[in-house]
Chain A
Amino acid sequence: MSAPEKMLKVDIWRGNEKGEYQSFEVPERDNQTVLDVVTYIQRHLDAALAYRFACRVGVCGSCAMTVNGRPRWTCRTHVSRVVKGGKLTIAPLQNLPVIRDLVTDMAQFFDKWNAARGRFVAGDNPKDELAPVSPEQKERTAASAAIECINCGVCYSACDVVSWRDDYLGPAALNRAWAAYNDVRDGDRPGILKAISQSGGCHNCHTHQSCAEHCPVSLNPTFSIAGLKRASLKAKLKGELK
């Protein structure tokens, strides 16, 4: 007779802003990720469970959830690393409206990317202005350090200032703005400084470093925000930032 299967006790948020935790029992497996657990529940215990995922290998950034109180990418979070007393508590990301169960509305997150001017703007004559960029160049090095963001929203969920201020652009958008600012081919770099100096801009960051602590790909948005603060202050002192 085989030994009884070892089970995990999993509490999962059900509902939207108002709701409650629902308990499930899921068989414990070797090398099991938190996303595996959620998927098991959706496929075997409750098909109505709403959650979001795509790549399952830490590239797409769509499966972030709050696991035992901390925002994490669930596809690369092994249960053995986060389980406490055989129990997991899984909730949607904080600081974002909940659509249903574990699915948040990411609209404000991406709207703030746009508000921080995180996209490339070509100059008037992009063909002629296409500058060679050496990998060793100071700006390129700074951009490289910030560029690998997967837009998972973990830093946004972990940030205290986001939880306090609706208009704060947040670590991901500002980190993206820093990467864009260091693109020497960009046709409107002062426009980025203007965008990140608005009311909810980079100067509101308290340097708590929660974003850097939680970032699953080990970026340091706080460092990027410090760069934006320096650049915007220099521009302000030179009268280039109105």
Chain B
Amino acid sequence: MRVQGRRLSITVIALVGVLGILAGSAWSQSTTKIRYALGDVVGIDDLPLLIAADRAKARGVEVEITAFKSEEIATQAVINGQADVGQGTPYAAIQKVSVPIRFFYQLSTLQFFPVVAKEQYKTWKDLDGQDLAVHARGSGTEAIMVLAAKQHGIKYKSISYVPGSQVRALALLKGTIKATILDAPNKSFVMKEAPDKFVILPLGELKASDEALFASTAFLEKNQAAVSVLLEELLKVTRAMNANPSFVVDERKRLGLLKDLPEKMEAEVLPYYQEGVQGGIFPADGGAARAAANDIEFFTLAGQIKGEGAKAEDFWNVAPLKAALTRVGS
């Protein structure tokens, strides 16, 4: 009797186990997970992504976002297979590493502002033979300033490297540096803190990517449906945001995203997106072929891409975006 009882309980346990496995695999079939590597802490500039991720989840694609210390570490996570999709512009790594990684979506284009101390400088010509501070050697900010110098026929005396727009903004306010380049939030911060002390030098339109999505070709091949869902939602969110920037603010409230945002930062959300939309930095079509061509030109100048004649297909795979565009309309 006792032996029979034990057999029965073993059978029950085995049955429960099998059912569990079956239920698990059914769940995993209905939900696909995309491990998304972000190269910075999640901030207000990531709201469109968070909104799109929330919508993708409702369609069975869970986007698990992990914030890494830097874009390079996020890129390493994708190269080593610990993350599926990365965000950033690691053109150098994609060119040099043997694992085939491709960009497949442009989230935003560069938006930077050369800010200089009014007392010393008023125009680009005044910067001839002067010191300049940018983010890092070989960075986009350096390339932008070098390109502008070429266009205006000037040459800087020296370029020093001060990582972080926020650090450069504070150094500018303290007077430690006199000329630098800042991102939109920090430019606004400096101009608000000391409106009479600084001028923003005019810069032509920047077309290269600030943030783009990349993944291994193997991942893109295997997960076409999930990638398409993410891209479709990103496209829809970008279009809604371009039509009305307060869409981001409303959606953030409705979905409860970035709940612990301090009040001061909360007030910056709408101006950030209004300025971005006005500057046309959020492409309504994910960039695609145009983004690839612009990026190759810019990042070759920045020194990220080495050699002449780099081809778009060496860096971009436009197939996933094309598929998503056919679903949501071009």
Chains A and B belong together in one complex:
no
